[in-house]
Amino acid sequence: MLSDKIIVPLDVPTEAEAIALLDRLPQVSFWKVGLELFVSCGSGILTTLKQRQKRIFLDLKFHDIPNTVAGACRAAAGYGVDLVTIHATAGKEALSLAQQAAQEGAKIAGVAPPKLIAITVLTSLSARQLAFELKIPLELPEYALEMALLAREAGLDGAVCSPQEVEQLRQTCGDDFLLVCPGVRPSWAAKGDQTRSLTPAQAIQAGADYLVIGRPITAAASPEEAWERICQEIAAE
């Protein structure tokens, strides 16, 4: 089902608000737990999601020295989640050790290992910021591709990229490399802090495996209607 390709982030500050969203949108099969909720409430929400047989994207975007990210990925894998993120800019050694540690953590916990995916370039960053604030001398699409290739060389399962880069990453990294796209915006939704967006239908056509769509659904007057509208728009293409 195309709707299973949509991951909805639980970007709320309390467990009660997260559970209210789960109750309101039982049709959503894949949820994302990110920094705000995990730092506020801890891992209890992961248990709740598993009890409801939901798939889980644990998006904590690890970025540290190799030994530390490996330890974090070992622990994250133990929760039995489906996807875990690390920044590609942690470097090849960190990525490779993190991947090994995720496999070990899952084995120790007796759960299936998560797919470890690397953040290439945050979807909020513009080409201008990359060049003038971060002083990256490559064009943004080229840099995103280099980060994805680094992740692939290190043995990771995939990458997080904006929908505007996904076609090129798909062509170069192949069909087996998982590509997850946040920064997706229906034509009728506000972009907010996302600078490199496409619509859900465009992102899927360009080769995304999964779309992360948050505020257009969760901040809508009717999240149910927003979800339905997005599903219809994807199906119509």
Ligand X SMILES: O=c1ccn([C@@H]2O[C@H](COP(=O)(O)O)[C@@H](O)[C@H]2O)c(=O)[nH]1
- 59 is known as an active-site residue: yes
> Is residue 151 a contact residue for ligand X (CB under 6 A)?
no
Residue 85, annotated as binding a ligand: no
**Strand pairing report for 210-212 and 158-160:** unpaired
> Is residue 86 a contact residue for ligand X (CB under 6 A)?
no
- 209 is known as an active-site residue: no
Cβ distance to ligand X smaller for residue 31 or 79: 31
> Is residue 194 a contact residue for ligand X (CB under 6 A)?
yes
- H helices of the chain, in order, are 15-24, 35-41, 44-51, 66-77, 92-109, 127-132, 140-153, 163-173, 200-206, 215-218, 223-236
User: Minimum distance from CB of 158 to ligand X (Å)?
Assistant: 13
By Cβ distance, which residue is nearest to ligand X?
A: 214
Cβ distance to ligand X smaller for residue 2 or 109: 2
Secondary structure (DSSP) of 14-58: SHHHHHHHHHH-TT--EEEEEHHHHHHHTTHHHHHHHHTT-EEEE
| DSSP-derived 3-state class of residue 3 | helix
> Catalytic residues, which ones?
59, 61, 64
By the criterion CB under 6 A, which residues form the site for ligand X?
Answer: 9, 11, 32, 34, 59, 119, 122-123, 160, 182-183, 192, 194, 212-215
